[in-house]
């Protein structure tokens, strides 16, 4: 009887999406998460490089911080364009290809910034650097989603995204160690070199997504090989994936994000992303400059990024577990509310008079914890919200909406610092997180308790 049942199942074929959703999380699948986490780590490393270098560049080039607002903004513009185009290219040409190319590309462009001799040169390099950083993010999220069982997916996505904050933390430590003896040039070379090394690692060890391969019409032998590496019981059955005919074209239009009952959730997700990244990048771009304005020396200002990113690690790791246990809405709303309260409290303390560096660092840790938990929750929303054929486009478009907020942060942060110093700067962060909270509350489709 067992043989006849197996034969019947084989005759019907097997759905790869169902097997992955319900299967065990094998060691091979976890190794993909490790590789994606390394990719996100170097994304965070490269992304923080300019913010860490700005205080030293201000001194060496004799320029005010306002002169770097456009450089920060154009880098984030590249990030925005890269997130949209990278997601679409990943749906079209494969997640693996885009991961290897984008990571190596932004690593080389980060290294090249060490030879910039004027602001306009740095501006051009930051734009192309941003293209690569942005293209990596949606493909990494899609890769994690397509290798991870459904129940573990929130935790896996949270772990992967958390390594952006790990990268920022490492970048801050490297900046604290290198800016003194080697200057901003040594900082760019070191941070970019890490990304190039990880790109080579991905080229050697990263396989293509099984869902992408199925939708792209890969051979049954190739599908069977990758399914068996994942420990999936495919036997000799024909392997298919959800809606392969539609997904195999890999020409997912943006309009697909406004159909099938996801239109309003898409709008509010974009709103929440915009203001979340406005807050986050106001910190990523200007925390070192903010600390310099309070009188702390440039090497020490990198510690602000380290503590902020350390909080991001804690919040990012915790948010995935909390979302799986309690559902998305209560967790993400709590994260955003906590960030609002912490940013307001630090702004009020600074307004009351000079504060010790350690006090500021502890508050940055707390703000980083809540803001990273919010951001990771939004990425988890976006990966769950859309069907397989539109996942790369959906995550990329949501990230792009956030990047527009990030671009705005390049000017909003420096304007806030100019108007009222650090106190008005933290008021900007609190207000942005508050608007993001409203957007989260209005998203209809939520991840339920238990995943």
Q: pLDDT tens for residues 122-140?
A: 999 999 999 999 899 889 9
For residues 193 and 103, what is the distance between their CA atoms, to the nearest angstrom?
11
Q: Is residue 12 predicted with pLDDT exceeding 70?
A: no
Q: Is residue 151 predicted with pLDDT exceeding 80?
A: yes
Q: And the tokens for 238?
A: 């024909």
Half-sphere exposure of 282 (CA within 13 A, CB side): 31
75 compared with 318, residue with greater pLDDT: 75
Q: What is the mean pLDDT of residues 144-148?
A: 92
- Cα torsion 150, 155, 160, 166 to 10°: value is 180
pLDDT confidence band for 451 (50 / 70 / 90): low
319 compared with 75, residue with greater pLDDT: 75
Pick the CATH number of 12-442 from 2.40.50.100, 3.40.50.620, 2.40.160.210, 1.20.1250.20: 1.20.1250.20
The reported pLDDT for the residue numbered 446 is: 63
Q: What are phi and psi of 14, to 5 degrees?
A: -130, 145
The percentage of residues in the chain with a pLDDT greater than 70, rounded to a whole number, is 91
Query: What SS3 string covers the chain?
Result: CHHHHHHHHHHHCEEHHHHHHHCCCCHHHHHHHHHHHHHHHHHHHHHCHHHHHHHHHHHHHCCCHHHHHHHHHHHHHHHHHHHHHHHHHHHHHCHHHHHHHHHHHHHHHHHHHHHCCCHHHHHHHHHHHHHHHHHHHHHHHHHHHHHCCHHHHHHHHHHHHHHHHHHHHHHHHHHHHHHHHHHHHHHHHHHHHHHHHHHHHHHHHCCCCHHHHHHCCCCHHHHHHHHHHCCCCCCCCCEECCCHHHHCCCCCCHHHHHCCCCHHHHHHHHHHHHHHHHHHHHHHHHHHHHHHHCCCCHHHHHHHHHHHHHHHHHHHHHHHHHHHHHCHHHHHHHHHHHHHHHHHHHHHHHHHCCCCHHHHHHHHHHHHHHHHHHHHHHHHHHHHHCCHHHHHHHHHHHHHHHHHHHHHHHHHHHHHHHHHHHHHHHHHHHHHHHHHHHHHHHCCCCCCCCC
439 compared with 161, residue with greater pLDDT: 439
The percentage of residues in the chain with a pLDDT greater than 90, rounded to a whole number, is 39
The reported pLDDT for the residue numbered 264 is: 81
| 40: nearest Cα among 369, 287, 309 | 309
265-309 pLDDT tens trace:
888 889 999 999 999 989 988 888 899 888 888 778 888 888 998
370 compared with 251, residue with greater pLDDT: 370
pLDDT confidence band for 23 (50 / 70 / 90): confident
For residues 307 and 217, what is the distance between their CA atoms, to the nearest angstrom?
46
Q: What is the mean pLDDT of residues 317-336?
A: 81
CB 307, CB 365: distance < 8 Å: yes
415-436 pLDDT tens trace:
998 888 889 999 999 999 999 9
pTM of this prediction exceeds 0.85: no
Q: Is residue 164 predicted with pLDDT exceeding 90?
A: no
165-174 pLDDT tens trace:
889 889 989 9
For residues 94 and 223, what is the distance between their CA atoms, to the nearest angstrom?
14
Spell out the domain ranges in the chain.
12-442
């Amino acid at each position: 009887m067992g043989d006849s049942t197996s034969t019947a199942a084989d005759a019907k074929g097997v759905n790869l999406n169902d097997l992955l959703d319900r299967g065990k999380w094998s060691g091979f699948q976890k190794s993909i998460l490790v590789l994606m986490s390394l990719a996100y780590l170097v994304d965070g490393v490269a992304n923080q490089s300019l913010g860490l270098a700005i205080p030293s560049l201000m001194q060496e080039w004799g320029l005010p911080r306002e002169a770097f607002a456009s450089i920060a903004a154009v880098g984030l513009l590249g990030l925005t364009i890269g997130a949209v185009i990278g997601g679409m290219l990943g749906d079209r040409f494969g997640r693996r290809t885009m991961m290897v190319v984008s990571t190596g590309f932004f690593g080389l462009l980060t290294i090249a910034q060490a030879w910039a001799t004027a602001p306009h040169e740095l501006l051009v390099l930051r734009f192309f650097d941003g293209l690569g950083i942005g293209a990596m993010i949606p493909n990494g999220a899609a890769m994690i989603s397509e290798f991870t069982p459904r129940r573990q997916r929130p935790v896996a996505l949270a772990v992967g995204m958390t390594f952006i904050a790990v990268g920022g933390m490492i970048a801050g430590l490297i900046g604290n160690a290198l800016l003194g003896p080697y200057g901003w040039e040594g900082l760019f070379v070191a941070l970019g070199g890490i990304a190039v090394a990880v790109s080579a690692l991905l080229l050697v060890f990263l396989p293509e997504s099984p869902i992408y391969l199925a939708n792209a019409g890969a051979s049954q032998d190739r599908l069977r090989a990758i399914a068996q590496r994942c420990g999936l019981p495919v036997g000799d059955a024909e392997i298919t994936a959800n809606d392969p005919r539609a997904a195999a074209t890999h020409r997912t239009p943006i309009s697909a994000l406004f159909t099938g009952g996801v239109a309003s959730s898409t709008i509010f997700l974009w709103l929440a992303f915009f203001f979340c990244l406005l807050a986050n990048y106001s910190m990523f771009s200007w925390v070192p400059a903010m600390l310099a304005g309070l009188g702390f020396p440039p090497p020490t200002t990198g510690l602000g990024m380290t503590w902020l990113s350390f909080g991001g690690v804690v919040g990012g790791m915790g948010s995935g577990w909390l979302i799986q246990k309690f559902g998305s809405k209560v967790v993400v709303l709590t994260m955003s509310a906590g960030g609002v309260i912490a940013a307001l409290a630090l702004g009020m303390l600074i307004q009351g008079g000079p504060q010790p560096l350690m006090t500021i660092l502890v508050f940055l840790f707390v703000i980083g914890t809540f803001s990273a938990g919010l951001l990771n929750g939004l990425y988890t929303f976006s990966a769950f919200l859309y069907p397989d054929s539109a996942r790369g486009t959906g995550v990329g478009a949501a990230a792009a909406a956030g990047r527009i907020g990030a671009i705005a942060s390049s000017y909003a942060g420096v304007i806030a610092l100019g108007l009222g110093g650090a106190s008005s700067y933290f008021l900007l962060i609190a207000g942005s997180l508050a608007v993001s909270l409203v957007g989260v509350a209005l998203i209809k489709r939520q991840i339920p308790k238990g995943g």
